[in-house]
Structure 1
Amino acid sequence: MSAIPVEPRKEDKFKRRLQRVAREQDLSRQRDLVQRISADLNIDLLTCAAALVFMNQPNLYPPLKRQPAAAEADRALPPQYKMARYRLAVGSQHQVSRDQIQAVLVSESGVDKKRIGRIDIRDTYTLVELPDGMPADIFQLLAETEIGSQKLNIKRIKPNKFRQQRNVGGEENGG
């Protein structure tokens, strides 16, 4: 079993929710379903449970760092344009993914996908870097845009606030 660091607060919260559900709910049908899925997919129960945890809490652990291929290294260079940081009122509790957020930003604002910077999905909100100088009409459109019936309610944040939020617990997550 590998020891991958997780934000203790997130793990504790997840354990408490899990314990409460296990104690208060009749899970017999869900247990049968997990056993059927495990058998149908030819995977062990622990792997099935781990996949279900990942589907429910994709941001519980920081993403694994991988070395970019040579072709990707060029694209991973820092942008040559000024970026601004924004807070979106959607997070992992709203079951949004990085791809969904990126797709909405591209389709609604017209920003080039390559010009979208870091997307840091938290429990109840997301921090994202976008090109500086967003027109007011686009900003208003994004504020009203929804992902899964949750308004983005975009707000620009100050750079130092972004750093403080990312460094809670002393370590950066995501990116």
Structure 2
Amino acid sequence: MSAIPVEPRKEDKFKRRVQRVAREQDLSRQRDLVQRVCADLNIDLLTCAAALVFMNQPNLYPSLKRQPAAAEADRAPAPQYKMVRYRLAVGSQHQVSRDQIQAVLVSESGVDKKRIGRIDIRDTYTLVELPDGMPADIFQLLAETEIGSQKLNIKRIKPNKFRQQRNVGGEENGG
């Protein structure tokens, strides 16, 4: 079985979080619970730990099932309508999936599933591209909508002019 690499940045952040919790928290009750779960389910500690990692960080590794679809999406022609990037206050730490986010956006806003652009799930938030011109009442509804017990708290992301300027003239060429 070949290992699928996780992004080094995500792995490092995960390791730091584990180290901090192991160092700063009394985990005796959790250790007892893990031992009972392993015994009751007849699984080894490593399998239990892996399941707990998956439950806490479902997007730590790229999904094998979705890689071909993502590659096809990258090759697809650009949409014929203007897209706007939004930030949702849900991320992988809230155990959300791309499908859950897409389903909520379709059901609550009425946007066509095919018109939802890129969905980029980060640790504490998600970036999503939606068609321009979202009505204010739909925007407010999405701001109050929850996935699990976490409000989406949708916010429109303004293009980062600083980043654009830095890329154009911020770095001098040596010569």
Tell me if both proteins adopt one fold, taking TM over 0.5 as the criterion. Answer: yes
- Cα gap change, 1:58/1:165 in structure 2, threshold over 3 Å: closer, same or farther? farther
Q: Secondary structure at the match of 1:159?
A: coil
Q: Is residue 120–residue 174 contact of structure 1 (8 Å, CA) maintained in 2?
A: no
Q: 1:154 to 1:161 in 2, by over 3 A?
A: farther
On the 8 A contact 1:102/1:116 being kept in 2, the answer is: yes
Question: How far off is 1:45 after superposition?
Answer: 1.9
How big is the shift at 1:59? 2.2
TM-superposed CA distance for 1:174, in Å, is 35
Residues 26 and 9 of structure 1: CA distance in aligned 2, closer, same or farther (over 3 Å)? same
Flag the 1:166–1:145 CA change in 2: closer, same or farther, 3 A: farther
Q: Larger C-alpha radius of gyration, 1 or 2?
A: 2
Structure 1 residue 129 displacement after superposition: 1.9
Cα gap change, 1:164/1:121 in structure 2, threshold over 3 Å: closer, same or farther?
Answer: farther
Shift of 1:127: 0.9
Shift of the 110–156 alpha-carbon distance from structure 1 to 2, 3 Å rule, reads same
CA contact (8 A) 1:166 1:172 kept: no
CA RMSD for the aligned pairs? 6.7
Structure 1 residue 87 displacement after superposition: 1.5
Indicate conservation of the 8 Å contact 1:91/1:122, yes or no.
yes
For these two proteins, the number of residue pairs brought into alignment is 175
Partners of 1:61 and 1:172 lie apart in 2 by 36
Report the alpha carbon displacement of residue 103 of structure 1 after superposing the two structures with TM.
Answer: 2.6
- Shift in Å, 1:84: 2.8
Native 8 Å contact 1:84 1:156 kept in 2: yes
User: Alpha-carbon deviation of 1:119?
Assistant: 1.4
Q: Between 60-69 and 142-151, report the one with greater CA deviation.
A: 60-69
Tell me, what secondary structure is at the counterpart of 1:128?
A: strand
Which residue of structure 2 lines up, in the alignment, with residue 105 of structure 1? 105
User: What pairs up with 1:34-73 in 2 under 5 angstroms?
Assistant: 34-64=34-64
SS at 2:128 equivalent: strand
For residues 171 and 53 of structure 1, the distance between their equivalents in structure 2, rounded to whole angstroms, comes to 40
Cα distance change, pair 69–130 in 1 and its aligned pair in 2 (3 A): closer
Q: Secondary structure of the residue that 1:58 maps to in structure 2?
A: coil
1:83 maps to 2:71:
no
1:126 CA displacement: 0.5
What does 1:114-133 correspond to in 2, within 5 Å? 114-133=114-133
Cα distance in 2 for residues equivalent to 1:123 and 1:116? 21
- Which whole-Å CA distance do the structure 1 matches of 2:165 and 2:151 have between them? 21
- Give the Cα separation in 1 of the matches to 2:150 and 2:137: 20
Distance in 1 of aligned mates of 2:57 and 2:173: 15
CA distance in structure 2 between the partners assigned to 1:173 and 1:148 by the alignment:
49
In structure 2, relative to structure 1, the CA distance for the partners of 1:78 and 1:27 (3 Å cut) is same
TM-score, normalising length from structure 2?
Answer: 0.70
- 1:166·1:173 contact (CA, 8 Å) conserved in 2? no
Mapped contact 1:91–1:121 kept (Cα < 8 A): yes
Alpha-carbon deviation of 1:113?
2.9
Structure 2: stretches of 5+ with no match in the other structure: none
Further displaced range: 137-146 or 77-86 = 77-86
Partners of 1:59 and 1:92 within 8 A in 2: yes
